[in-house]
Structure 1
């Protein structure tokens, strides 16, 4: 396993469609120098057949950063993985956990839990194509599968194919009858099973995903023997709570980050984006939760939400919104 992504996987931010774009990841990297960041899922057909190479764009400051791919055709995934490796990504991740109908219709995502042999073939072909880590993000099972029976079989096959690092979302996915949103909340979490998999597969680097909302919870799972923890919605909606102390608490490096300073550090990035024809809200929509739970949080969100959408809005909107928070934070 390559060192950079493997070490960073001790704490990672989950790939989240429509959320973890390159603007979001740049913000998260300012909050933590160490945590592993993931792209939104990019489908292999979009890259290979559609030529949508713009989907691979990122800022060098984002490293260590992983590309998550969706697909089920081994050769196409290998080509997409090669494009990702050529673009400089530190890891290529195969999505075997997303339950959306759109993903199912493409025969990838969580539905692949039903076909571990195909997943193993995909992993093996991708591993042959690239030198960076090829990893898998999966569920504990889908539909009527019995997780304690199916998950070990799945892990055995992908390990044999060359996958050395896996992130397990500790819920089943119900492919019929539950929406993607419901699949993130309704099926019960089974953390014990994920911990048991680490016991049964000690050579696999296993990260847990699902329901973790604080660094205290993450540290508890690490202390209990897991190699990593992946946090999704909490890292997006409360990025300061999750990421500003991640380096000091989870990685024992660096210093805690101040969200007020982070906002000011975003100014040059915003200026470049606007100079290149971008709009302010494309960035600031990811910053709404920076002061979650802190004095002035509501005023910050309102000022950004209302001000950033106007034509010609620039970093001054962000700084004016900060004026509503900073005096309260300094009391």
Structure 2
């Protein structure tokens, strides 16, 4: 599948969640959605263990890497490294509100410096042939008018980015935790719709508080793509319906039973490389949501998987607690 189709539906970059084990699971459920790494800083990419930080399975394509940073030269070097690692998209984080990110002068605080963001993406674009995109908020603190968002877009788009992902909430950089910033500031989807209308053919994707595929379909009447975050993580089986619904595929949707064997094989491979089973199974806890035996399923994958010497048989034990032939019917 071509990359430029993939952004129609994507799974958000989520710190501590969308690691390579999570992405492997999600790819079993949707072959077409664009997957994102966790955010990784440009400093870590240029000076750290890139083999570990940027590792992914070839089945994960199409896959985007999200970078955090504010130094154009360093971001350019990081983009070149990501390019060599074969990512399908390189995304600059201009939306994360955490104190740790602000102290490094990147994330949402960069919305106050649109010209710097433009310099960063120009440097990244010059360093790679891979599409470069930006993910931002609709505003920050008291700089949250529609004019502020338009001003940001007008500064960044001429730098040459390929697409813009907009989280439809402002971020309070002082006084709210990252978790509170995901829930407390009100959603304003209409502002993102108006931005898309203003930008014409330029690709705009929407993110924030989207909990179902039905809602996703409604958003796609106004924007070019939808990005799901926590809903996809906590109830991953909804992803089984994505390819048919949003990409027009005719292949049968994956069933719960289709997940057990490939995840056992994946776990066996990863354990030989030094991974622990619970690092893999923690992303699987929501697979059986709403089914009889789901509580025991979660218990095995969290408690038993953490025991010394736990192996792929733990996954088999968990799936034995539920009806693995269940067809996912929560096209929600």
TM-score (norm. length: structure 2): 0.96
Matches within 5 A, 1:190-201: 190-201=188-199
C-alpha RMSD over aligned residues: 1.4
Contact 1:288/1:300 (<8 A) preserved: yes
In structure 1, the partner of 2:123 is 125
In structure 1, the partner of 2:259 is 262
In structure 1, the partner of 2:100 is 102
Counterpart Cα distance in 2 of 1:297 and 1:279: 22
Cα offsets for 1:154-202 (capped at 9, x unmatched): 1111110001201000000000000000000000000000000110001
Which of 168, 178, 195 is the equivalent residue of 1:170? Answer: 168
In structure 1, the partner of 2:330 is none
Q: Which moved more, 1:163-172 or 1:260-269?
A: 260-269
Contact 1:295/1:329 (<8 A) preserved: no
Contact 1:37/1:65 (<8 A) preserved: yes
In structure 2, the partner of 1:66 is 64
Which of 241, 245, 254 is the equivalent residue of 1:245? Answer: 241
In structure 2, the partner of 1:312 is 309
Give SS of 2:135's match. Answer: strand
| Residue 17 (structure 1) aligned with residue 15 (structure 2) | yes
Structure 1 position 50, deviation (Å)? 3.4
Contact 1:296/1:328 (<8 A) preserved: no
Give SS of 1:167's match. Answer: strand
In structure 2, the partner of 1:299 is 296
TM-score (norm. length: structure 1): 0.96
Contact 2:255/2:324 (<8 A) preserved: no
CA gap of 1:49–1:265, structure 2 versus 1, over 3 A, is closer
Counterpart Cα distance in 1 of 2:106 and 2:324: 49
Structure 1 position 236, deviation (Å)? 0.4
Structure 1 position 327, deviation (Å)? 7.0
In structure 1, the partner of 2:158 is 160
In structure 1, the partner of 2:26 is 28
In structure 2, the partner of 1:282 is 279
Contact 1:168/1:209 (<8 A) preserved: yes
Work out the number of aligned pairs and report it: 326
Structure 1 position 35, deviation (Å)? 0.3
* Runs ≥4 residues deviating over 6 A: none
Structure 1 position 51, deviation (Å)? 4.8
Cα offsets for 1:223-278 (capped at 9, x unmatched): x221000000010000102x111000111113311122112221111111112222
Counterpart Cα distance in 1 of 2:260 and 2:6: 24
Structure 1 position 302, deviation (Å)? 1.0
Counterpart Cα distance in 1 of 2:48 and 2:170: 32
Give SS of 1:18's match. Answer: coil
Structure 1 position 55, deviation (Å)? 0.2
In structure 2, the partner of 1:75 is 73
Matches within 5 A, 1:26-65: 26-65=24-63
Contact 2:90/2:133 (<8 A) preserved: yes
Cα offsets for 1:86-144 (capped at 9, x unmatched): 00000000000000000000000000000000001111111111101100000001000
Contact 1:295/1:328 (<8 A) preserved: no
Counterpart Cα distance in 2 of 1:179 and 1:40: 19
Q: Which runs of no fewer than 5 residues in structure 2 stay unpaired?
A: 328-332
